[in-house]
Structure 1
């Protein structure tokens, strides 16, 4: 005999309500997680992270030019040719090209902290190797140390755009990228200024004492920076600082393998605007590298016993460029006119190079002024190019796009430096510089052909 159970209506209603709540819980939890993922917050610690990177970048960059700016002194002490001394600068460019791909993969898949630690460790090790090279027959040791530092550079040049995007808000990204590039330029400025002051053009004993002061100081500084990075540097804040970074984080979670990394490279190589930027950016910065490497020869040929002037002129170029980097970064944050700013700064770089060419043999104080004008635009162009690359290639990782940009720069630097050296040997300085002006003019033309396709700005809209 069947038993019929009668459930009061209020109980049925309670059971139905309970079932409904159980059905809603997963969707409510999903909405809550989605809301958390989309939350945006800008942290005060971003300025500490940026400052640490600037100091770290400077500690590596100051070693790039420390030999070349006193080429004649180094060649005399180690009894090597000036070409071999120039190679201490070019090794930065040569090692970067094959190693940028593993460095970009390291940055994209292991984050800022891991990449920065690897670079800081290599910079410190290379600096200490140089300490053991203070003897006329140990140039090979100093070159090994320089090579280790140069390899570590691959963990630096692609960082500014990524660090700015990961840590800074929508209206601060370009400014932060400019400050990040400022670190590299600060290091180059130090490399121009202090070697001529620390290593005098005297007898071998005085040169040796100067090299000791320089190498021990750099080794101590890089070691302190390494310790600070190990303690304080972080990869990313807990929450994204911008809407564009929300999209980037979601994409990066699905792209952490080698195949997708190379797929990203393939997409970059099919981007017409980005390819045009690669060539034009490489021309501009490659010419800057050539002038910086051969500045000692250029100035001392025009003005006798002017080693310290060569260093100070290099310092003027870079300091003006640091101001230019900051000004351009602020301009980009205020206007978001990435294409127009890039074209304008490039044209001004060409004008600055023309003025520098026509005033090189006038008076030494005039060279300081025209070199500063050249540096303001030519070096100030660096963060502008980084930011335009990020706009053209979004949402591809910034480390990959800027890494390729810097790899092409090294290629052009390797090509232009010996070309410039050859032209200086067969022509007067004037005509060698005219040739560089013509190459820069080609870069201006290519820059105007870049499409104004600002993909990152569209994602923010």
Structure 2
């Protein structure tokens, strides 16, 4: 550890890479006169080498809770589907739409959202997102009346809009703040925030709003739940405004320095559209878009319809439904962390992606044919197995996408991956709902499992073009050739 004064005058804690690290960031970056851009927007590492700053963990942890506060509202209604339909006097379709609105609004906003992230940076983007999340949560406080479902839906839509300022950030935040031997793990922790929120969304509503015949009691419970969420988002809004920062004083790696130099050398008004063109003509990234969308789309469909699927075999187990959803996401969190560590240690992006995808498909088949065993404990186990690989795939997909598309901004590639996921999520949720209510859960789950087979095949034919890793190696070689230690 060493101490460095930041531009604000405060003493800044930084971590230097040590000699035993396998990172290529042991070398010092080129001086400005040696091919580097003189743009004022490009920060250069100090002479003693690339550094990662201690504050990166505070920024990451804040992002985790910020992301969770938005994601926890995604299935806030659908996980207590039967209670919501009875209280508001609406049908199941309207409740399903409270989940699908997240997916539908994200798709047309991904391009302006990615442009906004590139234009204003991490801090402003995150602040816009937490303001929207907070406003939407408070609007739902005023929806507690059997005739005011539309008010709650408006609040849900505003929260859904705010996720545009969240889902594309983990890979970007990790790349900007973390060194090459931590970036995949940091991405997995960033995605962990979304999963944490989904986990809370699965387990908290059934506990706070138990099934009651008295509608007034249900209303009081809903009001308590909405006040708790609104209060949490308000606290996070203050913390984000005070402590969430855009980027460190110097880049943490040769790859990030190269990316910042490239960004500084392009015309601002054409860089985003050029990035889109580069991404959409990258065949390997197109394959990843399809496979990622299929995997996450299946997860969205299962999560949205989990309540009626479980209650079909285990009536009266609303709380268990939430806990099963929690098991899926907690297992996915573990899977995310494990996957991130594996990527940082091995840099085997294609192999890890394929293995996790194939095991997600296997988990789906097991889940499909164990629902009717009569033992709800079996559902807990099989759902956890499915969650470990299916939601554990999220950061793996982000990192593989960043590798395939470097030096394009991570926020743009992540945004497109999320847009694909939302598109497939809408389609698969509608298909799953139709099949479930018309033919049963077995047929619906089989269709989803077959789609995961298709996704596994697409992943297998995607080439391992690790451009970010190559840039890291080339940056190290260039510095060595220039005579730097």
TM bin, normalised by shorter chain, reads over 0.9
Separation in structure 2 between the aligned mates of residue 404 and residue 428 of structure 1, nearest angstrom? 33
> For 1:289-438, what aligned pairs fall within 5 Å after superposition?
289-362=300-373, 363-438=375-450
Q: CA deviation at 1:255?
A: 3.9
Q: Per the alignment, in what secondary structure is the counterpart of residue 210 of structure 2?
A: coil
CA distance in 1, matches of 2:96, 2:391: 21
Contact 1:132 1:141 in 2 (8 A): yes
Match of residue 89, structure 2, among 79, 92, 96: 79
> 1:272 is matched with which residue?
283
TM-score between both structures, scaled by the size of structure 1: 0.92
1:75-100 CA-partner distances (Å, limit 9, x unpaired): 11111111001100000000000111
Q: Is the 8 A contact 1:346 1:377 kept in 2?
A: yes
Match of 1:37 among 44, 47, 51: 44
Match of 1:246 in 2: 257
Residue aligning to 1:171? 181
Partner of 2:144: 134
8 Å CA contact 1:109–1:256 kept in 2: the answer is: no
Is the CA contact 1:100–1:403 (under 8 Å) kept in the aligned structure 2? Answer: yes
Give distance in 2, aligned partners of 1:127 and 1:283: 30
SS of aligned partner of 1:77: helix
1:24 counterpart residue number: none
* Larger CA deviation: 314-323 vs 202-211: 202-211
Residue of structure 1 equivalent to 2:114: 104
Q: Is the 1:181–1:382 Cα contact (8 Å) retained in structure 2?
A: yes
Q: Does the 8 A contact of 1:64 with 1:92 survive in 2?
A: yes
Q: CA RMSD in A?
A: 1.5
> Is the CA contact (8 Å cut-off) linking 1:356 and 1:367 kept in structure 2?
yes
Equivalent residue number for residue 51 of structure 1: 61
1:448 counterpart residue number: 460
**1:33 Cα deviation after fit:** 9.6
- CA shift, 1:425, in A, is 1.5
Retained in 2: the 8 A contact 1:343–1:444?
Answer: yes
Conserved 8 A contact 1:322-1:379:
yes
CA distance in 1 between counterparts of 2:144 and 2:268 reads 44
Shift of 1:258: 3.6
5 Å-filtered alignment, 1:2-41, equals 30=33, 37-39=44-46, 40-41=50-51
DSSP-derived class of the 1:42 partner: strand
Q: Whole-Å Cα distance in 2 between the matches of residues 50 and 118 of structure 1? A: 17
TM-score by length of 2: 0.88
Any stretches of 5+ residues in structure 2 without a counterpart? 1-30, 474-485
Q: Which one of 63, 71, 75 corresponds to residue 65 of structure 1? A: 75
Taking the aligned partners of 1:36 and 1:154, their CA distance within structure 2 comes to 28
Q: How many residues align?
A: 434
Give the aligned partner of residue 3 of structure 2. Answer: none
CA gap of 1:29–1:321, structure 2 versus 1, over 3 A, is closer
Q: Which has the higher helix share?
A: 1
Give the 3 Å change call, closer, same or farther, for CA 213–227 of structure 1 in structure 2: same
1:297-349 Cα shifts (integer Å, max 9, x gaps)? 10011111111111000000000000000000000000000000000000000
Residue 57 of structure 1 contacts residue 156 of structure 1 at CA under 8 Å; is this kept in 2?
A: yes
The residue matched to 1:37 in structure 2 has which SS? coil
Contact 2:45 2:51 in 1 (8 A): no
- Partners of 2:267 and 2:371 in 1: how far apart? 51
Tell me, in whole angstroms, the C-alpha distance in 2 between the residues paired with 1:56 and 1:137.
Answer: 31
Structure 1 range deviating more: 274-283 or 419-428:
419-428
Structure 1 residue 295: Cα displacement = 0.2
CA deviation map 1:36-81 (0-9, x unaligned): 7254211000000000000000000000011000011001111111
Which whole-Å CA distance do the structure 2 matches of 1:216 and 1:33 have between them?
Answer: 50
Secondary structure of residue in 2 paired with 1:361: helix
Distance in 2 (CA, whole Å) between partners of 1:94 and 1:392 is 27
Alpha-carbon distance in structure 1 between the residues aligned to 2:386 and 2:55: 35
Contact 2:37 2:265 survives alignment (8 Å): no
**Distance in 1, Cα, partners of 2:220 & 2:442:** 37
In structure 1, how many angstroms separate the alpha carbons of the residues matched to 2:45 and 2:252? 10
Where structure 1 has 5 or more consecutive residues not aligned to the other structure, the ranges are 1-27
- CA deviations 1:397-449 (Å, max 9, x no partner) are 00000101100110000100010011112223122211111111000000001
Equivalent of 1:281 in 292, 298, 302: 292
Counterpart-to-counterpart distance in 1, 2:288 and 2:300: 18
Q: What is the CA–CA distance in structure 1 between the aligned matches of 2:361 and 2:32, rounded to whole Å?
A: 58
Aligned-pair distance for 1:358?
1.2
1-structure distance, mates of 2:120, 2:238: 20
